[in-house]
């Protein structure tokens, strides 16, 4: 018995006619009838009751028809999987755009090339949205500032991806834009616009925390509860400034500039997290997808002098644990 015998029988049973089934299968009616007859002889049981113009299934034929259809469906799915014609996984990635600038495009290209059957769904989210979706089990991968997620999301394994320095963002016409570096003392009384606690609950406490050792208390005159694009608009409209991280340079408009601080502030950790349920044995020799210092990316890539770690995936149904690679 071969698969073609099952296909011929299923076609005849579905259409209730040898003539119609023969047309669909591009066979002659006598040839199709002979193939189905061979199947019945091999099974040693009649499957069809043949009329003058129609055919009906016997009791055994009805049972065999259901089984044959399931076998054909499984066979077709197996062929598609082997040919890579189906996508067996969806990877939902929640990320903060300012922390993946310069590395996301290259990583996605490598990942899709190695795992063509995995469909990637990207979501640009606030820290609150990342926490909520991760808690609901709707994110497979999270990339965000460590202060935003590592304490708020349980059941994830976290690995450091990179570090970003705090910077001052302002319109190019701002009075401080002419400076190459901003002394922290100049922040005293400077109008700042921040990210509101509804969507970014960690922002204001974190900024106050990193400035406190220097005796600086930030003066927030407004908080934006929407996206970064709204923050950029507010900065330009009020000629104000904002304390963000250097990764913001890749997503902000050209009318804004960034300046590093004269004193060294604690860097912000960018973490990459994966649910523990998706983690496989670390000894499975996963592939690397995030760029390393040995693999330069485009001009918009992060500097090779930045300390960063590398996330590794393999191309199986599950994804490998993060693998730390030392770079300098």
- The Cα-based distances of 7 to 4, 17, 71, 79 in angstroms read 5, 14, 10, 15
Residue written as token pair 């570096």: 181
Average confidence score pLDDT of the chain: 79
pLDDT at 208: 95
pLDDT at 150: 66
pLDDT at 279: 56
Cα 137 from Cα 232, distance rounded (Å):
32
Best mean pLDDT range from 13-22, 86-95, 157-166:
157-166
- Per-residue DSSP letters for 78-114? HHHHHHT-S--EEEEEEE-GGGSTTTHHHHHHHHHHH
**What are the tens digits of pLDDT across the range 130-152?**
888 888 888 888 888 887 676 66
Mean pLDDT throughout 253-273? 92
pLDDT at 289: 53
Mean pLDDT throughout 147-158? 76
pLDDT at 78: 81
Cα 152 from Cα 2, distance rounded (Å):
57
Contacts of 12 by beta carbon, 8 Å cutoff, 6+ apart:
18, 21, 32, 36, 48, 55
pLDDT at 86: 54
Examine the pLDDT at 283 and tell me if it is beyond 60: no
pLDDT at 122: 87
């Amino acid at each position: 018995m071969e698969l073609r015998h099952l296909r011929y029988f299923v076609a005849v049973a579905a259409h209730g006619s040898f003539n119609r089934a023969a047309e669909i299968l591009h066979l002659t009616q006598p040839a199709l009838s002979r193939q189905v007859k061979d199947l019945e002889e091999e099974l040693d049981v009649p499957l069809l009751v043949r009329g003058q113009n129609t055919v009906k299934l016997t009791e055994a034929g009805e049972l065999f028809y259901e089984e044959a259809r399931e076998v054909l469906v499984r066979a077709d799915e197996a062929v598609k999987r082997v040919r890579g014609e189906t996508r067996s996984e969806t990877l939902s990635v929640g990320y903060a755009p300012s922390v993946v600038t310069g590395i996301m495009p290259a990583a996605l290209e490598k990942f899709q090339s190695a795992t063509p059957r995995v469909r990637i769904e990207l979501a640009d989210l606030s820290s609150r949205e990342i926490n909520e979706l991760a808690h609901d089990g709707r994110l497979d991968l999270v990339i965000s500032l460590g202060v935003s997620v590592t304490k708020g999301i349980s059941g994830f394994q976290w690995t450091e991806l990179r570090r970003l320095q705090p910077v001052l963002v302002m319109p190019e016409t701002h009075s401080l834009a002419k400076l190459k570096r901003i002394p922290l003392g100049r922040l005293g009384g400077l109008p700042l616009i921040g990210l509101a606690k509804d969507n970014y609950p960690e922002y204001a406490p974190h900024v106050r925390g990193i400035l406190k050792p220097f005796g600086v208390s930030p003066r927030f005159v407004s908080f934006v509860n929407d996206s970064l694009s709204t923050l950029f608009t507010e900065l330009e409209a009020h000629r104000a400034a904002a304390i963000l991280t250097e990764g913001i340079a890749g997503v902000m408009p050209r009318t804004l500039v960034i300046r590093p601080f004269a004193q060294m502030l604690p860097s912000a950790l960018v973490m990459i997290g994966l649910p523990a349920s998706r983690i496989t044995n670390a000894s499975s020799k996963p592939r690397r997808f995030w760029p390393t210092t040995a693999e330069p990316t485009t001009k918009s890539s992060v500097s090779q002098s930045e300390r960063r770690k590398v996330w590794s995936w393999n191309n199986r149904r599950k994804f490998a644990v993060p693998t730390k690679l030392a770079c300098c």
